[in-house]
Amino acid sequence: MRLFGDVRPSFLAWALAAGLSSLAAAAVADPPPPSASPTPVDGVIQALGVSPSRLGANADQLTVLPTGAPGPVTLTVDRPADKQALDLGARPGDRVWLTVDDPLSPQHVVQITRLARPVPVLQRTIALVAAFAVIAAFASLATAGRPWRFLVGNDNRMSNSQTQMALWFGVVAMVYGATLILRAWFLGWEFMGGIAMTTNVLAMTGLSGLSFGAAKVVAVQKDANAAAAPAVDGAPAPPGVAPRPRIADLVLNDYGAADLGDFQMILISSVATLIFAAASWEFLTMIDIVRATTLPDVDTALLGSFGVGQGAYLIKKAALPNGVG
């Protein structure tokens, strides 16, 4: 009994150690396969439905050529929301952004995040030119054939407040019109509406209009005060009406001196307009196949700079004498 009592614990310890060693070796030699996880993919639609001869008749399958992949893959579409998105009018050649079930051997669409139709450069240019032509035609009708008068104040000088508003509003209206045209052109007339603007773009449009209105109130008040004030010996003569408007009026006061407030306001307004125009050109490269879309946004830094520029201009205009600010 003493012999077996001494041997049994040693034997059990050895067996336990050997078993653990075998399990560790097996885990190192043959690791378990990684579990599949949803993976984002983008590509070009090759076919819709089971039969390529009846494209769009059955949206339960979607054949996509992923970006960078050697060949297309056919995926099963299960979610009702994804089927509805395809039923809006997706067709071969459209771009699609989706999530698949397995990055190595995808079989199912987990979710379609975006569907868009590419727009060539020529069609983008035509839409923008057409939108500009419509805006210019209405401006000409409103000014008896002289639309540049929207940029000129009562003193026949280029007005900063009117110019910045015309720049910003003109570009936003042109992008809106071009989006309207392209949605009807590429998606159909039922997609013409449903175009929204972001909060930042609406805020910048409101600031532009507020600056225009406040500047006019200040200018009218200054003119009234100047007319009611008695003449003072040695004081400079009022600037009067300019013989013709000039671009230089945007950075000079009424006496021809450089004005830092005018310069910074028109500079910030021009930069903001150019940035939004560039973002809109990129935005129009794809028309989203959705009932409602949103125009490109501007970042909060640009919105803040725009607001600071407009505010500084108004404070300067209200504080300085007539003709100087």
The reply to whether 151 and 207 lie within a common domain is yes
The reply to whether 111 and 131 lie within a common domain is no
Q: Which domain holds residue 68?
A: 39-118
Number of domains forming the structure of the chain: 2
Percent of the chain with pLDDT over 70: 81
pLDDT in tens, 124-140: 999 999 999 999 999 99
Give the pLDDT of residue 104: 85
CATH number at residue 58: 2.40.50.140
Average pLDDT in the 227-238 region? 61
Mark which of 118, 143, 162 sits at the end of a domain. Answer: 118
The reply to whether 168 and 309 lie within a common domain is yes
What is 125-161 written as a DSSP string? HHHHHHHHHHHHHHHHHHTTT-GGGGGB-TTSSB-HH
User: Is the Cβ–Cβ distance between 239 and 157 less than 8 Å?
Assistant: no
Give the pLDDT of residue 137: 95
Give the pLDDT of residue 260: 87
For residue 104, what is the DSSP state? S
Residue 308 in any domain: the answer is yes
Cα torsion angle, 59, 61, 67, 72, sign: negative
The reply to whether 109 and 156 lie within a common domain is no
3 state DSSP class of 22: helix
Residue 221's pLDDT band (cuts 50, 70, 90)? confident
3 state DSSP class of 242: coil
- Tell me the whole-structure pTM to 2 decimals: 0.80
The reply to whether 164 and 206 lie within a common domain is yes
| Structure-model confidence comparison of residues 154 and 24, the more confident one | 154
Structure tokens, 33 = 């396969």
The reply to whether 215 and 138 lie within a common domain is yes
Residue 287 in any domain: the answer is yes
User: Is the Cβ–Cβ distance between 57 and 46 less than 8 Å?
Assistant: no
pLDDT in tens, 54-85: 444 456 889 999 998 899 999 999 899 999 89
Residue 88 backbone phi and psi in degrees, to 5: -65, -15
Calculate the average pLDDT of the chain: 83
